[in-house]
Amino acid sequence: KPRLFSGMQPSADSLHAGNYIGALLQWKQLQRDYDAVFSVVDLHAITVPQDPATLREKTRRTAAQYIAAGIDPSASTLYVQSHVPAHAQLAWVLNTITGMGEASRMTQFKDKTAKQGADSASVGLFTYPILQAADVLLYDAEIVPVGEDQRQHIELTRDLGQRFNTRFGETFVIPEVSILKETAKVYDLQNPGSKMSKSGETENGILWLLDEPSRLVKKIKSAVTDNDGSIHYDPVGKPGVSNLLTLLSVLGGTSVESLEHEFAGRGYGDLKGAVADAVVAEFGPVRERALELLADPAELDRVLAVNADRANEIAEATLARVYDRVGFLPRR
Ligand code: TYM
């Protein structure tokens, strides 16, 4: 089977609807046809300050949510990034073939530092995309299923892989990005002009996977819409309504067009009710399962350790190839 790689940062207690719909749903689908490797990328998380005890907890919670959402840790490889030293080691090598100019063009860094300025950001946040390239290239991944916001990072991954191959000889598989058009970007319910994000400013705009059902319903009922009163898909003119239609379409398995027919002449309250039902039906069981898994952290840690062994085997082989190609003296 061809290899697949993807990951998420353990940067909040819960994943959100953007993570779930943009990435996890794809992962779940693709894991059947691919030799899938899914990482909880804690090395990435520390590029912004983290409280150590909380980070450990968030890492477990993220892993538990992968499993609860349907990632099978005995068929796929589900591990914690810091358990595999080769990520940091390959990132160093890739740092040395990345230009300052191309690293400076990464829009996510610019967005994340827009407010406080780049000078107060860590160098780690700046080189973050290079570590991400190392993640993907280490596993000879052919595809990387992500949301739209990761497109540029995977483009850089391809560039660095190709550059290394050209300079040092065929070493890396060059990956393709997999982004589903309909779910590439889920928007904040309170601020439907911006993507739903863990660092979102409005708590009510974010649907957390681990939210209690009643909270999910409340947030959906108070989602920002518009005054036009008609239900149709128009992401520019009607971003709030369009976002709700996307959520309902993806979770209910109905096309946006048939939803437009179904809701023609009906009010936003009806649409929100249907979205709330669909979200609660989808997230509810995931939440229950995740809480069950988290009730036995020792077992979860055991599963992660076994998976880390598998990940290490693949990653070490790639790193050995790289070290040889760049001309490092073998230890003996
Ligand atoms: P992260 O942790 O921010 O997000 C995890 C995944 O969720 C997707 N996503 C969204 N999709 C649709 N709508 C949204 N509002 C939304 N918000 C987030 C992201 O696109 C992502 O797929 N840099 C990555 C983590 C990473 C990684 C990797 C991914 C590190 N190494 C290697 C792939 C391959 C990140 O911060 O994702």
Residuewise pLDDT in 10s, the chain (332 residues): 999 999 999 999 999 999 999 999 999 999 999 999 999 999 999 999 999 999 999 999 999 999 999 999 999 999 999 999 999 999 999 999 999 999 999 999 999 999 889 999 999 999 999 999 999 999 999 999 999 999 999 999 999 999 999 999 999 999 999 999 888 899 999 999 999 998 777 889 999 999 999 999 999 999 999 999 999 999 999 999 999 999 999 999 999 999 999 999 999 999 999 999 999 999 999 999 999 999 999 999 999 999 999 999 999 999 999 999 999 999 88
Check pocket membership of 17 for ligand 1, CB cut-off 6 A.
Answer: no
Ligand 1 test: best mutation among 42, 79, 150, most atoms within 8 Å of CB?
150
Check pocket membership of 156 for ligand 1, CB cut-off 6 A.
Answer: no
CA 238 to chain centre: 26
| Domains 3-179+297-326 and 203-291 equal at CATH topology level | no
Q: Residue 151 Cα, ligand 1 centroid: separation in angstroms?
A: 10
Taking the domains of the chain in order of start, what are their residue ranges? 3-179+297-326, 203-291
Atom of ligand 1 nearest to the CA of 141: 34
Complex ipTM value? 0.99
Identify the pLDDT of residue 22.
Answer: 93
Show the tokens assigned to 274.
């249907």
Between CA 97 and CA 160 the distance in angstroms is 7
CATH fold of 203-291: Tyrosyl-Transfer RNA Synthetase (1.10.240)
Q: Residue 147 Cα, ligand 1 centroid: separation in angstroms?
A: 6
Between CA 189 and CA 246 the distance in angstroms is 12
Atom of ligand 1 nearest to the CA of 148: 20
Show the tokens assigned to 174.
């060059």
Q: Which amino acid is at 266?
A: R
Q: Is 308 helix (H, G, I), strand (E, B) or coil?
A: helix
Q: Which amino acid is at 318?
A: T
Q: 3-179+297-326: which CATH number, 3.40.50.1220, 3.40.630.30, 3.40.50.620, 3.40.50.300?
A: 3.40.50.620
Q: Residue 263 Cα, ligand 1 centroid: separation in angstroms?
A: 32
Check pocket membership of 175 for ligand 1, CB cut-off 6 A.
Answer: no
Of residues 172, 272, 175, the one with CA closest to residue 218: 272
**Active site (catalytic) residues:** 112, 195, 198
